[in-house]
C-alpha cells in the first residue's frame, strides 16, 4: 500500500517560493524606482546648473555625485541585498546596452568636415598617443614598484593597468565646449580622440591580457600591432558596410510612404545595433563599427527617409544617448559607493595619478609635435590647444568598466588594487578636474567668443567654418609669390578634392535619392548629445 504524504492544513507547498518571488519583484520595483528618481534629479539639476552657467559642477560630475551620495546612504542604512543588486555595475550591461547608443549618436551627429580634415591628427592621438600613454604609465608603475614607492605588480599587469587607465572620457570638456563655444578643430580633436581611444584602450587591454596568459611575450608584442590594425580596419569596414546596406535598403525598398513609416523608423533604429553586434560577434571592436555606421547612415541613409521618420530617429537617438550617458555616471557613482575597495595601498593611488598626468603629457605633446611636422604653418596645432588636449584627459566609465573586469582577470589582490586606484582616479578627474575645466579652458583662451581674429577663434555658425576658420580652410598671404600660392592650392586640392569628388559624383548618387544635395555639415534636426558633436550649438 502506498503511503500518503500528509500535508498539514493551511500549509501551501509553493508558498515559500511564491513569497520569495514576490519579495524579488518588490525589490526590483524599488530598485528601478530609485534609478528613475536619480535620473530625474540628475536631469533637473543639470538643467538648473546650465541655466545659471555654473560650470564648477558639470552635468556628468553632478550625475556621478548623485550616485555616490545615494550609494553611500544605501550602504550605511543596510539596504536589502536584493535592492542593492540592481545597482551593481556589470561591464557586460555597459558594453552591450549603454555604450552603443552613446557612440552611435557621436557619429550620427558628427559634422564630417572638421572631423575628416583632422582625421590624420585624430588617428595619431588616438592610436599612437594612447599606445604611448599606456606604455609610459605601465613602465612608470612597474618602476615605482621596484623602487618601493607603491604596490609592486608584475610588468604585464602594469601594462594592463596602463592600457585601461588610458581610456579617456572628456564628456565634461565637450559639454563646456558646447556651452561656451570653441575652435572647431580643437573640438574635433578632443571628440575624435576620445571615441577612437576607447577602441584602442580595449584592444590594448585584451592583448596584454593574452600576453599575460602566454609565454612568448615577444611574439605577442608583434601580434599586438597586427591585431589592432586587423581590429580597426575590420571594424571600420563592418560599420561602413552596414551603413551602405542600410542606405540602399531605404533608397529602393519604398518605405517612405505613410503607412510604412513606422517600419522605416524601426529598421533605421535596428541597423546600428546590428552593426555593433556583428563586430563583437566577429571578435572586432563594436565601438569603431557603430561609430562609422553612424557617420555613413547620417550621410547616406538619413536623406532616404521620409521627413517624419527623419524627425523621429533624430529625436530618438538623442533621447536614448542622453539617458544612457546620464545613467552611466549615476550607475558608476552608486557602484563605487557600494563596492569593496582596497584602500591599504594609498601610495599606489597617489603615484598612479602622478604617472597618468606625465603619460598624458607625453602622449599629447609628442603626438602634436609629430602632427605639426607634417602640417604646413597655417594648420599647425597651437600650444594652447595642446594644453587643452592634455587637460581634457579625464577618465570615466570605460576605464571603470575595464578595471572592474580586471578583478576577474588578475590574481586576488592585484585586480582589487587596480580597481580601487581606477575608482579614485575616475572620481578625482570627473569631480575635481571636471569642475575646474571651465576656468582652465578660459585661462587658455580656447573657449568663449573671440574677437581678435587670432588662430583658433570661435565660430557660432557652421557656415563660418570655411569662410573664416584659420586652419581648416587656409588663407594665403597676398605678398606671397604666385608660384607658392599655386603649390599650396595644388596641395590643398590634392588633399581634399579626391574623396569629395568621389563622394559627389559616385557615392551620393548611388546610395541616396537626392543626387548629391546632401548637407555635409549635418545641420538638420539632429540635436547633439553631450558626447556628440556640438559644432552647431556654439554661441
When pLDDT is averaged across residues 463-477 and rounded to a whole number, the result is 36
> Quick one: residue 407, left, alpha or beta (phi over 0 = left, psi -120 to 50 = alpha)?
alpha
In order of 53, 214, 243, the CA distances from 161 in angstroms are 36, 18, 35
Label residue 381 by pLDDT band (50, 70, 90). Answer: very high
Which residue do the cell numbers 588617428 mark? 123
Listed as own residue / partner, the contacts of 431-435 with beta carbons closer than 8 Å and 24 or more positions apart are 431/61, 431/64, 431/65, 433/391, 433/394, 434/58, 434/60, 434/61, 434/172, 434/173, 434/394, 435/55, 435/56, 435/57, 435/58, 435/61
| pLDDT in the model for residue 443 | 85
Which of 167-171, 194-198, 348-352, 521-525 is predicted with the least confidence, judged by mean pLDDT?
A: 521-525
> Quick one: residue 432, left, alpha or beta (phi over 0 = left, psi -120 to 50 = alpha)?
alpha
Q: Express each pLDDT in 272-310 by its tens digit.
A: 999 999 998 988 888 889 988 998 999 899 988 888 889
Strand, coil or helix: 320: helix
Which comes out higher in pLDDT, residue 77 or 366? 366
Residue 379 DSSP code: G
Written as nine digits, the cell of 22 is 514576490
Q: Express each pLDDT in 409-467 by its tens digit.
A: 887 778 888 988 998 898 888 888 877 877 888 888 887 644 333 333 333 333 333 33
Written as nine digits, the cell of 258 is 505613410
| pLDDT in the model for residue 367 | 94
pTM over 0.85? The answer is no
CA angle 183, 186, 190 (to 5 degrees): 140
- CA distance linking residue 322 with residue 105, whole number of Å: 9
| pLDDT in the model for residue 17 | 59
> Quick one: residue 63, left, alpha or beta (phi over 0 = left, psi -120 to 50 = alpha)?
alpha
A 10 A CB-CB count for 189 gives 28
Label residue 364 by pLDDT band (50, 70, 90). Answer: very high
Which ranges in 282-413 belong to alpha helices (H)?
286-296, 307-338, 346-374, 383-391, 397-409
A 10 A CB-CB count for 462 gives 19
| pLDDT in the model for residue 237 | 93
Which comes out higher in pLDDT, residue 143 or 501? 143
Q: Express each pLDDT in 73-87 by its tens digit.
A: 877 776 656 666 666
Yes or no: say if 9 and 68 are a contact pair by the CB < 8 Å rule. Answer: no
Which comes out higher in pLDDT, residue 90 or 520? 90
Q: Express each pLDDT in 495-517 by its tens digit.
A: 444 566 777 788 888 888 864 44
Which comes out higher in pLDDT, residue 241 or 93? 241
Q: What's the residue count for the chain? A: 539
- CA distance linking residue 440 with residue 392, whole number of Å: 10
Yes or no: say if 513 and 251 are a contact pair by the CB < 8 Å rule. Answer: yes
- CA distance linking residue 113 with residue 259, whole number of Å: 36
Written as nine digits, the cell of 313 is 530617429
310: nearest Cα among 269, 266, 265, 254: 265
CA 285 from chain center: how many Å? 13
Sign of the CA dihedral running 203, 208, 209, 210: positive
CA 156 from chain center: how many Å? 26
- CA distance linking residue 212 with residue 484, whole number of Å: 54
Using only C-alpha atoms, what is the Rg of the chain? 25
Exposed e or buried b for every residue in 295-331, given b needs 16+ CB within 10 A? Answer: bbbbbbbbbbbbeebbebbbeebbebbbbbbbbbbbb
Summary mean pLDDT of the chain: 77
When pLDDT is averaged across residues 311-315 and rounded to a whole number, the result is 92
Written as nine digits, the cell of 501 is 569628388
Strand, coil or helix: 425: helix
> Torsion over CA of 245, 239, 169 and 449, rounded to 10 degrees?
-50
Which range of 23-27, 48-52, 82-86, 108-112 scores highest in mean pLDDT? It is 48-52
Share of the chain above pLDDT 70, in %: 76
Yes or no: say if 82 and 27 are a contact pair by the CB < 8 Å rule. Answer: yes
168: nearest Cα among 497, 395, 501: 395
Q: Is the pLDDT of residue 521 over 50?
A: no
When pLDDT is averaged across residues 125-129 and rounded to a whole number, the result is 90
Strand, coil or helix: 255: coil
Amino acid at each position: 500500500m502506498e503511503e500518503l504524504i500528509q500535508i498539514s492544513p493551511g500549509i501551501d507547498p509553493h508558498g515559500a517560493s511564491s513569497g520569495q518571488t514576490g519579495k524579488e519583484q518588490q525589490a526590483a520595483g524599488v530598485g528601478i524606482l530609485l534609478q528613475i528618481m536619480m535620473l530625474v534629479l540628475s536631469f533637473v539639476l543639470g538643467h538648473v546648473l546650465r541655466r545659471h552657467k555654473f560650470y564648477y559642477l558639470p552635468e556628468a560630475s553632478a550625475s556621478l555625485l548623485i550616485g555616490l551620495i545615494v550609494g553611500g546612504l544605501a550602504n550605511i542604512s543596510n539596504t536589502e541585498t536584493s535592492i542593492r543588486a540592481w545597482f551593481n555595475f556589470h561591464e557586460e550591461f555597459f558594453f552591450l546596452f549603454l555604450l552603443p547608443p552613446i557612440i552611435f549618436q557621436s557619429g550620427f551627429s558628427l559634422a564630417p568636415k572638421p572631423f575628416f580634415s583632422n582625421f590624420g591628427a585624430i588617428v595619431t592621438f588616438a592610436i599612437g598617443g594612447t599606445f604611448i600613454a599606456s606604455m609610459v604609465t605601465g613602465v612608470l608603475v612597474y618602476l615605482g614598484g621596484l623602487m618601493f614607492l607603491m604596490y609592486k605588480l608584475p610588468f604585464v599587469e602594469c601594462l594592463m593597468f596602463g592600457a585601461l587607465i588610458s581610456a579617456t572620457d572628456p564628456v565634461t570638456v565637450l559639454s563646456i565646449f558646447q556651452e561656451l563655444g570653441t575652435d572647431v578643430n580643437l573640438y574635433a580633436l578632443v571628440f575624435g580622440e576620445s571615441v577612437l581611444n576607447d577602441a584602442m584602450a580595449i584592444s590594448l587591454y585584451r592583448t596584454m591580457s593574452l600576453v599575460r596568459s602566454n609565454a612568448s611575450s615577444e611574439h605577442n608584442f608583434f601580434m599586438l600591432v597586427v591585431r589592432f590594425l586587423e581590429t580597426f580596419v575590420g571594424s571600420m569596414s563592418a560599420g561602413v558596410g552596414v551603413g551602405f546596406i542600410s542606405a540602399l535598403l531605404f533608397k529602393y525598398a519604398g518605405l517612405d510612404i505613410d503607412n510604412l513609416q513606422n517600419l522605416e523608423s524601426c529598421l533605421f533604429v535596428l541597423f546600428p545595433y546590428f552593426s555593433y553586434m556583428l563586430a563583437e560577434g566577429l571578435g572586432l571592436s563594436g565601438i569603431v563599427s557603430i561609430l562609422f555606421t553612424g557617420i555613413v547612415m547620417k550621410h547616406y541613409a538619413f536623406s532616404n527617409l521620409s521627413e517624419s521618420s527623419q524627425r523621429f530617429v533624430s529625436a530618438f537617438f538623442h533621447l536614448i544617448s542622453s539617458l544612457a550617458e546620464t545613467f552611466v555616471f549615476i550607475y558608476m557613482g552608486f557602484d563605487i559607493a557600494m563596492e569593496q575597495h582596497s584602500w591599504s595601498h594609498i601610495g599606489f593611488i597617489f603615484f598612479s595619478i602622478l604617472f597618468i598626468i606625465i603619460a598624458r603629457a607625453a602622449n599629447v605633446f609628442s603626438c602634436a609635435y609629430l602632427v605639426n611636422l607634417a602640417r604646413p604653418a597655417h594648420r599647425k596645432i597651437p600650444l594652447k590647444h595642446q594644453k587643452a588636449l592634455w587637460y581634457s584627459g579625464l577618465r570615466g566609465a570605460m576605464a571603470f568598466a575595464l578595471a572592474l573586469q580586471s578583478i576577474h582577470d588578475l590574481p586576488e589582490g592585484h585586480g582589487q588594487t587596480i580597481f580601487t586606484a581606477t575608482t579614485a582616479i575616475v572620481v578625482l578627474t570627473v569631480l575635481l578636474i571636471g569642475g575646474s575645466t571651465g576656468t582652465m579652458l578660459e585661462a587658455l583662451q580656447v573657449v568663449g567668443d573671440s574677437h581678435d581674429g587670432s588662430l583658433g577663434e570661435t565660430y557660432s555658425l557652421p557656415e563660418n567654418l570655411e569662410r573664416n576658420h584659420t586652419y581648416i580652410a587656409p588663407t594665403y598671404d597676398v605678398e606671397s609669390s604666385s608660384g607658392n600660392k599655386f603649390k599650396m592650392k595644388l596641395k590643398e586640392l590634392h588633399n581634399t578634392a579626391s574623396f569629395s569628388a568621389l563622394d559627389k559624383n559616385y557615392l551620393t548618387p548611388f546610395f541616396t535619392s537626392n543626387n548629391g544635395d546632401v548637407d555635409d555639415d549635418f545641420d538638420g534636426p539632429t540635436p547633439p548629445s553631450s558626447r556628440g558633436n556640438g559644432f552647431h550649438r556654439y554661441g
